[in-house]
Amino acid sequence: MGQSCGKENDSVSPDRRRSPGPSPATPGYAGSRRGLRPSWPATPTPTVEEPQYRQKLQLYCRTGYNIAVFADGTVRGTREPFLPHAKMELIVIAHVSDMQFRGLETGLYLAMDKKGRLYGEANPNDEATVWVEVLHGVYNCYLSRKYAHLGWYLAVKKNGKPKRATKAWWGQKAIQFLPRPSSPI
């Protein structure tokens, strides 16, 4: 035990030595008396805390309902076209397809729990509030990023109640949404 395989010699062969780094003649580097530095400016990368895009809209389901987030945290579908609780703010974060939906009236974020039910969440940093947009023809489908490995989509039944994600799958009308303006033109 404790014996090493191979050579007992700790010397490093000449071909495995560390290179001294780029020389001043290397393209992309500007040599100076202060040392080597990149010749291109460093650009800041966007963080998750900085939303890149915001838009006010309504989520209209193909079943005929708009998603509404109420003050008590319940989520339901409503047939009223411009109900204040149905007005949402789409917030794009990190990647173009990652987004959150915040109810403008309540300030709650649309989220999904571990049983596949929809609810309003006050904490915007909760992973359950992030949705991935997937295109389905002319409709958009929203897959929960937290439960994407299970294939759980945002869905509304024909009677306006939220459909459990365990019962919703690709191709159903209940998961197909059209984002539309939140106020009449």
Alpha-carbon distance 6 to 85, whole Å?
Answer: 70
CATH class of 53-181: mainly beta
Note the pLDDT of residue 154.
96
Annotate 42-57 with b (16+ C-beta within 10 A) or e (fewer). eeeeeeeeebeeeeeb
3-state secondary structure 131-166: EEEEEECCEEEEEECCCHHHCCECCECCCCCECCHH
Note the pLDDT of residue 94.
76
Note the pLDDT of residue 53.
79
Alpha-carbon distance 139 to 135, whole Å?
Answer: 6
pLDDT exceeding 90 applies to what percent of the chain? 62
Note the pLDDT of residue 185.
67
For 42, list phi and psi in degrees, rounded to 5: -80, 135
Number of Cβ atoms within 10 Å of the Cβ of 141: 22
- The mean of the pLDDT values for the chain is 81
6-45: pLDDT as tens digits: 445 555 555 554 445 445 554 444 444 444 444 444 444 4
CB 50 within 8 A of CB 165: no
Does the structure show a pLDDT above 60 at 93? yes
CB 119 within 8 A of CB 75: yes
User: Any idea what DSSP says for residue 34?
Assistant: T
Give the distance, in angstroms, between the CA of residue 145 and the centroid of all CA atoms in the same chain. 7
Q: If you compute the radius of gyration of the chain from its CA atoms, what whole number of angstroms results?
A: 26
Alpha-carbon distance 178 to 155, whole Å?
Answer: 12
39-63: pLDDT as tens digits: 444 444 434 455 567 889 999 999 9
115-132: pLDDT as tens digits: 999 999 999 999 999 999
